[in-house]
Amino acid sequence: MVEQVWRSRRVVLVPCSFQGHITPMLQLGTILHSKGFSITVVHTQFNSPNPSNNPEFRFQIIPDGLSNHVISSGNIVEIISFLNVNCEVPFRECLALMVNQQDPSDEIVCVIYDELMFFSESAANQLKLQSIILRTTSAATCISRLALLRLKTEGHIPLRDPIMQDPVPGLHPFRFMDLPISKFGIPENYLQLIINAYNTRTSSAVIWNTVDFLEQSLLPQIQQQCHVPIFPIGPLHKFAPASSSSLLMEDTNCITWLNSQAPNSVIYVSLGSLASMDRKELVEMAWGLANSMQPFIWVVRPGLINGSEEIDLLPEGFKEAVGGNCCIVKWAPQKEVLSHGAVGGFWSHCGWNSTLESISEGVPMICRPCFGDQRVNARYVSHVWRIGLQLENELERGEIEKAVRRLMVDKEGEQMRQRIKNLKEKVELCIREGGSTYNSLNNTLELIKSFWF
């Protein structure tokens, strides 16, 4: 009977239109669906998710008004700012239509929106619907983004080169160079985005894709300043089955290749969906990896090289030099790769999803952050959890070769592996009955249930 009541309620999800945000939102949808909710995903034209990956959900597209010029600029801050202006009215109309046409046995109970899609809140509010925020980056990122606002008033911004190595006052363990700065520096619209993203407005709660024990001292600090409950229910991917939310086609050949490799021998190299590098860096990376003699999977996705959609930019002689010791794909089934016994290391840009996925599978990391929260996560990986090492200088083949050997062969890497295996075990405890994530998820469900009782 209780199950029937739950089945008759619908949750509307509004993901932000980037891979690293779509994935956790769809994972949350999968969890809520498994608890009896119906799900509608309202998404932009830009980076539309593939509905056939989640046939149990409804998908509603809204116009986003993004010009090709804005999309191709790659300026994420600008894209998100435009989305918040352009999507407000279409979302309100779409939501109003859904409410007007809804079947009483399938009523919308709340809207859950990505913190960056804050236009959603006013539409929900106007229609007297409750709303909840989903945060898809770490708590440390929240603290350090808010610190940027303080640093601005203290006159530290724009950041100047001579202080980049210095510790940020009051923000241990970060140096200025670890701050979550966008590719385009710290323009005014980025600071405004931070203010909007961390304003909870009339929303009822914050759901956070993080794990309590990983960010223990930070979450209570944030909770103190937040007037609504915070529910850390990560890592979301551990609850949701592996249905793909990839915007690019996954190449599963790498799993066949992995099956023939020795345990813990392979380094998986992927810089996520947005990070990019120049051709010179790609060449150094290619030779550094090749010279390490360690087998590797390398995700060379379209757009990885600045200004080029081509992926066939590897240096001459490279493929012959590495032979069967390497597998190159445009996009990998990453969670499957990381959980494979042959994978012993992850060279990552330290996007928050990748970081959580690596911790959940106990795979130590080489960190090469590019921008934004990746720098914050890399600092935590290398200096707080000590489960990885950071490549900080200009990419150079000799340095890369050394880093790969430090991680994959040396005692230092073995110690990191041991530490991350301990974290993996703790994550497993958190998601079990009685664990912190398990309890937080129950509290989230209780809250949503309270919206209609």
The residues binding ligand UDX (CB under 6 A) are 18-21, 23, 136-137, 246, 270, 272-275, 299, 331-332, 334-335, 351-354, 357, 372-374
End-to-end CA distance of the chain: 15
Q: Give the whole-angstrom CA distance, residue 408 versus residue 365.
A: 10
Asked if residues 94 and 71 have their Cβ atoms less than 8 Å apart, the reply is no
CB of 130 to ligand UDX, least distance (A): 26
- Report residue 127: phi and psi, to 5°: -95, 10
Nearer to ligand UDX, 20 or 90 (CB): 20
Closer residue to ligand UDX (CB): 330 or 397: 330
Q: Which is nearer to ligand UDX, 240 or 447 (CB)?
A: 240
Our CB check for ligand UDX shows the closer of 20 and 435 to be 20
Neighbours of 278 (CB within 10 A): 12
Of the candidates 64, 57, 66, 61, which has an alpha carbon nearest to the alpha carbon of residue 94?
61
Which residue number, 330 or 426, has a Cβ lying nearer to ligand UDX?
330
Q: C-beta of 134: minimal distance to ligand UDX in Å?
A: 12
Min dist. Cβ of residue 47 to ligand UDX (A): 11
Cis peptide before 364 (omega within 30 of 0): no
Cβ 143 to ligand UDX shortest distance, Å: 15
φ, ψ at 391 (rounded to 5°): -90, 110
Q: How far is the CB of 253 from ligand UDX (least distance, A)?
A: 13
- 296 closest CA partner among 408, 149, 211, 144: 408
Residue 9 beta carbon to ligand UDX: minimum distance, rounded to whole angstroms: 28
Shortest gap between Cβ of 295 and ligand UDX (angstroms)?
A: 17
Q: 327 with 253: CB under 8 angstroms?
A: yes
Alpha-carbon gap, residue 347 to 395, rounded angstroms: 13
Least distance to ligand UDX from the beta carbon of 106, Å?
30
Q: How far is the CB of 248 from ligand UDX (least distance, A)?
A: 7
Q: Which of 274, 404 has the CB closer to ligand UDX?
A: 274
Q: Are strands 9-14 and 107-114 parallel, antiparallel or unpaired?
A: parallel
Say if residues 176 and 165 touch (Cβ distance below 8 Å).
yes
Nearest Cα residue to 330 out of 349, 357, 311: 311
In whole angstroms, give the CA distance from residue 33 to residue 19. Answer: 21
| Alpha-carbon gap, residue 382 to 384, rounded angstroms | 6
> Residue 335 or 368: which CB sits closer to ligand UDX?
335
Toward ligand UDX, which CB reaches closer, 286 or 447?
Answer: 286
Q: Least CB distance from residue 301 to ligand UDX, whole Å? A: 7
Gap between the Cα atoms of 416 and 115, Å rounded: 33
Task: Return the number of other C-beta atoms located less than 10 Å from residue 1's C-beta.
Answer: 5
C-alpha to C-alpha distance for 372 and 20, rounded to whole angstroms? 13
Which of residues 13 and 299 has its CB atom nearest to ligand UDX in the complex? 299
- How many Cα atoms within 13 Å fall on the side-chain side of residue 194? 21
Contacts of 287 (CB under 8 A, 6+ apart): 315, 318, 397, 400
Q: In terms of CB distance, is 20 or 388 closer to ligand UDX? A: 20
CB of 200: closest distance to ligand UDX in angstroms? 20
Nearer to ligand UDX by Cβ, of 119 and 298: the residue is 298
Cβ pair 184, 141 in contact under 8 A: no
